[in-house]
Amino acid sequence: MSLLIQTNSQIYYEVVGEGETIVFTHGASWDHAQWQPQIRYFSKSYQTITWDVRGHGKSTLPDGKVDSNDFSKDLMMLLDQLEIEKAHLCGLSMGGHISLQAAARFPERVSSLILIGTPYTNTFNWFEKLFMPINRLSNRFISMKTLGEWQGRALSKFNSNNKQYIEEVVSRIPHKVWLRLWDAISRMESENELQNIECPTLIMQGENDTMIRRQQEVMHEKIKKSELEIIKQAQHATNLDQPDEVNRLIHTFIKK
């Protein structure tokens, strides 16, 4: 068990393998275990790092209002603690947004960027502008057990094993912690930072991922050195739905 000790929080992380560094950042309400298929594959030839974003998994969340800007700062502090000058950053959903912000704000630390099912805004169109406030309010009345069951059922069409993992990981987050986290996560905005991303970027989208589909083409257009790949038979849990294809695309991309 490895911890990044800060003045107000503890960040859990795991390091496996040797070589160039790839940091994997999980989606909202999930944890580092989301990346097990990728760690098994990439740790044979790379140094892989997975971590729990503050408030998730084994990482703590300090009292007070959650500032989403701390997520990318935590990621940089983790690289500092491990004395890593530069790394490939890979993230899904919230984890992709954190990685995106890190690449825009600390470009000298990022070799390349892999964004899977990643939003860059929560106000993309009128639907999101209307839906997100309603979603934040409704979360107050939904237990974590129920939220986990909904997620697990919705995201296990192509990989039935997703259901158990998602139900268990979501239900472990205390409800009050989740409300504080989601209030910050659902307000993350990076539209004005896309033009600042200079590193090579791979954007992956599950063919059946309706959660973020609207944003991918725009993000591809605005990030200069980006590629867009559509993963067939995959939903929002794209790296778990089609791990072999995701691994292949990541490996091909970072070897260029």
Whether 207 is covered by a domain: the verdict is yes
**Per-residue pLDDT in tens (0 to 9) along the chain, 256 residues:** 587 666 578 999 999 999 999 999 999 999 999 999 999 999 999 999 999 999 999 999 999 999 999 999 999 999 999 999 999 999 999 999 999 999 999 999 999 999 999 999 988 887 778 888 888 989 999 999 999 999 999 999 999 999 999 999 999 999 999 999 999 999 999 999 999 999 999 999 999 998 887 899 999 999 999 999 999 999 999 999 999 999 999 999 999 8
Whether 143 is covered by a domain: the verdict is no
**Which residue do the tokens 């406030």 mark?**
133
For residue 72, the domain's CATH number is: 3.40.50.1820
Which residues lie closer than 8 Å to 197 by C-beta, 6 or more apart? 100, 103, 104, 107, 113, 223, 224
Q: Domain range for residue 82?
A: 2-121+190-254
Cβ atoms 155, 236 nearer than 8 A: yes
Distance CA 214, CA 225 (A): 20
State the amino acid at position 243 in one-letter form.
P
What is the token pair recorded at 188?
Answer: 């993350």
Whether 243 is covered by a domain: the verdict is yes
How high is the pLDDT of residue 204?
Answer: 98
Q: Smallest Cα–Cα separation from 26: which of 238, 251, 244, 255?
A: 238
Whether 101 is covered by a domain: the verdict is yes
What digits encode the pLDDT tens for the residues 171-195?
A: 999 999 999 999 999 999 999 999 9
**Which residue do the tokens 């950042």 mark?**
25
Buried b (16+ CB within 10 A) or exposed e, 38-76: bbebbbeebbbbbbbbbbbbbbbbeeeebebebbbbbbe
Eight-class DSSP state of 85: S
Whether 154 is covered by a domain: the verdict is no
Whether 170 is covered by a domain: the verdict is no
What digits encode the pLDDT tens for the residues 116-153?
A: 999 999 888 877 788 888 889 899 999 999 999 999 99
E runs forming strands in the chain = 2-5, 10-16, 21-25, 47-51, 87-92, 110-116, 201-206, 226-231
Q: Smallest Cα–Cα separation from 102: which of 89, 115, 114, 93?
A: 89
Whether 194 is covered by a domain: the verdict is yes
Whether 86 is covered by a domain: the verdict is yes
State the amino acid at position 165 in one-letter form.
Y
Q: How many domains does the chain have?
A: 1
